[in-house]
C-alpha cells in the first residue's frame, strides 16, 4: 500500500518526519496514529507506583520482623510496668507542687489589677517565680536520681506550666496596660482573672492564654473512649517496637559496623515508634483532654507530613508550641524588643534549641550538645533550603524534593538521638523507667 511522508505536529517540532499510510477502510479496531508512551507525556497518574511503594514497605518491615526474631528471639517484657513505680510517688509530689506553686502568678496578676502592686514590681516577682520554678524541681530530679522516664515527665510538665504562666501573665499585663491608658481591648478583662478561669487554662490543651475559648455543648463519651483506647494501643505498640527492635540494636554493639550502619538499622523502627508516639499524644490524648473539658479549638497539628521544607515542618507539627513561640518570642521580639525579623527568627530557634537540649539534660542527667547543635544549625539550613527552593530547583519537582528532604531528616535524626543519648544510658542501666541502684531518696 503506498505511503507518504508527513510533518509531525507542532508539539513534536524537534522530531523527524514520520511515514504514515494513506487513509483506508478499517478492518481491525486499531488504527496507527502518532502517540507517546505514558511515561513520556506524563499525564497518567502514578497511583500504582505508590501502591507498589506500600507493598515494598510492608515486605521490608516483614523481613525486619523475621530477622529480628531469628537473631534475638522475644525481647518484649513488662519491666517498665514494675520499675515505673520506683519513683512515681516522688515525681507525682513534684508535679503537684509545681501546679500549686503556679497559683502564685495568678495572685500577682490579681494584685496588679487591683492596684496593690505596680506593673514593674509584678514583673519582678513573676520573673523570680519563674526562676524558682526551674531551680527547685530540677534540683529534686538530680538529687533523687530519677530514671529518665520520670525525669523527662517532670521536666515536660515543668515546661508546660512555665509556658502557660508566662502567657497568662504577659497577656493580662498587655490588657492591663491598655486599660490603664483608657483603651479597653477586651470586653471580658479584668473579670477573667478568677480561679476557675485559671484552673481551666491550666488543664486546657493549649499554651496560649485567651480570655475566651470556644467550647462544645456536650461531651461525646463514645469519641472520648475511642481516642483513649487509641492512645493506649499506640503506646503499647511503641513500647513493643522499642523493646523488641530498637533496644536490641542499641545493646548489640558487637555487630555494629559504624555509625551509619546503626543509623540504617534503627531508621525504620525509630520512625514507626515516633509516629505512634505522635499520634498517641497529639491526636488521641489531647483530644481526650479537650473532650473532657469541651474545649473547641483542637487544631493541635497540621499536615506536617506534606511539608516541603524544615521551617514549614516546624510550623505545622506542633501547633501548640508554634503558636506560643509566635506570640511570646517572635512577636514580642519584633514589637517589644524592636528586633529585626531575622533576629526574631534567630531568638525563636535559640529558645527552641535550648529547651530541646534541656529535656535530655534533665532526663539523662548528662550534658551533651548534640541536640542543641542539631536544632540550632537548622536555622542556616532553612535559609539555604529557601534559596534552593526559590531559585535553583525546578518548579515541577521542588515540592517533591523538599518533602523527601524532610523525611530523610527524620530517618537520620531519630536514630542519631537514640545512638548519641539513649545508647549510653542502656550500656549502664537496664531500663528508662528504673531508678539507678545508687539513687538517693532525698529531696534537696
Q: Over 133-200, what HEC string results?
A: HHHHHHHHHHHHCCCHHHHHHHHHHHHHHHHHHHHHHHHHHHHHHHHHCCCCCCCCCCCCCCHHHHHH
Q: Parallel, antiparallel, or unpaired for β 18-21 and 3-6?
A: antiparallel
DSSP one-letter code for 377: T
Instruction: Tell me the β-bridge partners of 19.
Output: 5
DSSP 16-49: PPEEEEPP----SS--------HHHH--S--HHH
Other beta carbons within 10 Å of 40? 8
What whole-number distance in Å separates Cα of residue 245 and Cα of residue 236? 14
The C-alpha atoms of residue 140 and residue 97 are separated, in whole angstroms, by 12
The dihedral of CA 398, 401, 403, 406: what is its sign? negative
The span from the CA of 140 to the CA of 201, in Å, is 26
* Helices 148-180/88-101 angle, 10° precision: 0
Beta bridge partners of 5: 19
Report how far residue 183's alpha carbon sits from residue 162's, in angstroms, rounded to the nearest whole number. 29
Question: Which residue reads 530530679 in cell numbers?
Answer: 141
Q: Which three cell numbers stand for residue 26?
A: 478499517
Query: Three cell numbers at 149?
Result: 522516664
Q: How many CB atoms lie within 10 A of CB 221?
A: 10
How far CA 90 is from CA of 96, 138, 374, 440, in Å, comes to: 10, 12, 32, 11
Within 10 angstroms of residue 135's Cβ, the number of other Cβ atoms is: 10
Which residues are catalytic, by number?
Answer: 356
Amino acid at each position: 500500500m503506498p505511503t507518504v511522508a508527513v510533518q509531525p505536529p507542532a508539539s513534536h517540532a524537534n522530531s523527524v518526519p514520520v511515514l504514515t499510510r494513506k487513509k483506508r477502510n478499517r478492518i481491525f479496531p486499531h488504527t496507527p496514529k502518532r502517540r507517546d508512551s505514558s511515561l513520556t507525556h506524563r499525564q497518567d497518574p502514578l497511583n500504582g507506583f505508590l501502591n507498589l511503594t506500600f507493598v515494598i514497605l510492608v515486605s521490608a518491615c516483614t523481613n525486619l520482623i523475621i530477622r529480628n526474631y531469628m537473631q534475638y528471639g522475644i525481647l518484649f517484657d513488662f519491666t517498665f510496668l514494675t520499675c515505673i513505680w520506683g519513683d512515681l510517688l516522688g515525681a507525682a509530689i513534684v508535679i503537684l507542687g509545681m501546679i500549686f506553686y503556679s497559683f502564685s502568678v495568678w495572685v500577682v496578676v490579681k494584685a496588679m489589677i487591683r492596684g496593690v502592686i505596680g506593673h514593674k514590681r509584678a514583673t519582678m516577682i513573676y520573673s523570680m517565680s519563674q526562676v524558682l520554678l526551674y531551680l527547685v524541681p530540677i534540683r529534686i530530679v538530680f538529687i533523687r536520681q530519677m530514671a529518665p522516664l520520670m525525669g523527662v515527665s517532670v521536666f515536660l510538665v515543668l515546661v508546660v506550666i512555665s509556658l502557660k504562666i508566662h502567657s497568662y501573665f504577659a497577656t493580662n499585663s498587655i490588657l492591663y496596660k491598655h486599660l490603664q491608658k483608657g483603651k479597653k481591648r477586651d470586653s471580658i478583662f479584668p473579670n477573667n482573672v478568677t480561679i476557675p478561669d485559671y484552673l481551666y487554662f491550666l488543664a486546657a490543651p493549649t499554651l496560649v492564654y485567651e480570655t475566651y475559648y470556644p467550647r462544645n455543648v456536650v461531651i461525646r463519651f463514645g469519641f472520648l473512649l475511642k481516642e483513649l483506647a487509641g492512645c493506649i494501643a499506640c503506646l503499647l505498640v511503641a513500647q513493643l517496637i522499642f523493646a523488641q527492635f530498637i533496644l536490641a540494636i542499641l545493646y548489640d554493639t558487637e555487630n555494629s559496623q559504624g555509625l551509619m550502619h546503626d543509623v540504617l538499622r534503627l531508621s525504620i523502627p525509630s520512625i514507626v515508634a515516633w509516629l505512634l508516639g505522635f499520634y498517641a499524644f497529639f491526636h488521641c490524648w489531647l483530644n481526650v483532654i479537650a473532650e473532657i473539658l469541651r474545649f473547641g479549638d483542637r487544631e493541635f497539628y497540621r499536615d506536617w507530613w506534606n511539608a516541603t521544607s524544615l521551617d514549614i515542618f516546624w510550623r505545622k507539627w506542633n501547633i501548640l508550641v508554634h503558636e506560643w513561640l509566635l506570640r511570646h518570642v517572635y512577636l514580642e521580639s519584633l514589637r517589644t524588643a524592636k528586633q529585626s525579623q531575622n533576629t526574631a527568627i534567630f531568638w525563636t530557634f535559640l529558645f527552641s534549641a535550648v529547651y530541646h537540649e534541656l529535656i535530655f539534660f534533665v532526663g539523662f542527667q548528662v550534658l551533651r550538645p548534640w541536640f542543641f547543635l542539631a536544632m540550632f544549625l537548622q536555622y542556616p539550613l532553612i535559609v539555604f533550603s529557601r534559596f534552593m527552593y526559590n531559585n535553583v530547583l525546578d518548579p515541577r519537582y521542588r515540592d517533591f524534593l523538599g518533602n523527601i528532604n524532610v523525611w530523610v531528616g527524620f530517618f537520620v535524626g531519630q536514630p542519631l538521638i537514640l545512638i548519641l543519648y539513649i545508647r549510653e544510658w542502656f550500656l549502664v542501666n537496664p531500663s528508662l523507667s528504673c531508678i539507678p541502684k545508687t539513687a538517693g531518696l532525698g529531696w534537696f
